[in-house]
Amino acid sequence: MGSVEQGPVTVIGGAGRVGRRIVRRLLERGVPVRVTSQDVRRAGRTVPDGVPLEHADVRDAATLAGPLDGCRAVVFSVEPGSASRGPDRPETTMFQGVRNVLDAAGAAHLVLVSQIYVTRSDHPMNGSGRLLDWRLAGEDLIRAGGSPYTIVRPSWLTDTRGSGQAVRLEQGDTGDGRISREDVADACVHALWSSAAIGTTFEIYNVAGPSDTNWDQLFAQLRPDPEGTGSTIRARQNGGR
């Protein structure tokens, strides 16, 4: 049995391109949904009528208490800034923001949309405010915490799901490829009902094959993350960066 039996799921970034697909799927399942946005007026143009829309900025812990109060699960689908200094650097959303959400979410199941490459610090994407390092540090906070979580690492996102495209999950962050936002949204939502997805970190790719994805089978093949792990945190405690 997964983590969501009743109660709202809060989607942070629910007006975004992956987030709005997650919201749609949750509504189709009859699950109460809350969406947060930094700009509620703009988000109102995207979020379906009737869905509670609340202001929150993951960088500001005080804005999270209300939207996350009493929720069963939280999906974090936030695009980080890419500045090297100031409030729009990746550290503020992907590390401090994740920490703020963990603090406010309590025991709720947290699904984090991360990305491939996070363990490959020499990748050019790390040049933008050490995006990859901070994303990994945020992941590590989640893995080291005690609450249920699932960390989804999309490859390059596409807007369309082609026919003849299957989904492959990998672990170890060695691959490269593309994945549709539709499939990422499916992964996030199915993870909320799958005990096999709890405590896992995985990359997600489209590959040639049948598109009738069996999420239970895919999740069943995942290795759970080693308990209480957090490679970046451990490195810091041992005198690392």
Ligand X SMILES: NC(=O)c1ccc[n+]([C@@H]2O[C@H](COP(=O)([O-])OP(=O)(O)OC[C@H]3O[C@@H](n4cnc5c(N)ncnc54)[C@H](OP(=O)(O)O)[C@@H]3O)[C@@H](O)[C@H]2O)c1
77 or 150: CB nearest ligand X: 77
Are 4 and 31 in contact by the 8 Å Cβ rule? The answer is yes
Residue 11: name the closest of 46, 41, 241 by CA: 46
115 belongs to the binding site for ligand X (CB under 6 A): yes
Nearest-approach distance from CB 187 to ligand X, in angstroms:
12
By rule CB under 6 A, what count of residues binds ligand X?
24
Nearest-approach distance from CB 57 to ligand X, in angstroms:
4
* Binding piece for ligand X, criterion CB under 6 A, among 26-34, 55-63, 64-72, 143-151: 55-63
Rounded distance between C-alpha atoms, residue 90 and residue 96, angstroms: 9
20 or 72: CB nearest ligand X: 20
- Residue 145: helix, strand or coil by DSSP? coil
E strands present in 181-225: 200-208
Hey, which residues between 121 and 180 contact ligand X (CB under 6 A)?
154, 156-157
Nearest-approach distance from CB 143 to ligand X, in angstroms:
17
Burial track 73-103 (b if 16+ CB lie within 10 A, e otherwise): bbbbbbebbeeeeeeebbbbbbbbbbbbbbe
Q: Which residue has the tokens 């697909």?
A: 21
38 belongs to the binding site for ligand X (CB under 6 A): yes
Are 109 and 7 in contact by the 8 Å Cβ rule? The answer is no
Binder of ligand X out of 3, 57, 91, 173 (CB under 6 A): 57
Rounded distance between C-alpha atoms, residue 3 and residue 170, angstroms: 23
93 or 232: CB nearest ligand X: 93
17 belongs to the binding site for ligand X (CB under 6 A): yes
Nearest-approach distance from CB 59 to ligand X, in angstroms:
5
125 or 212: CB nearest ligand X: 125
13 belongs to the binding site for ligand X (CB under 6 A): yes
Rounded distance between C-alpha atoms, residue 75 and residue 170, angstroms: 21
Are 151 and 202 in contact by the 8 Å Cβ rule? The answer is yes
Hey, which residues between 66 and 105 contact ligand X (CB under 6 A)?
77-79, 93
Measured CA to CA in angstroms, residue 15 lies from 32, 44, 162 at distances of: 16, 8, 23
* Binding piece for ligand X, criterion CB under 6 A, among 51-59, 99-107, 143-151, 206-214: 51-59
Are 152 and 111 in contact by the 8 Å Cβ rule? The answer is yes
Give the interface with ligand X as residue ranges (CB under 6 A). Answer: 12-13, 15-19, 37-39, 43, 56-59, 77-79, 93, 113, 115, 154, 156-157
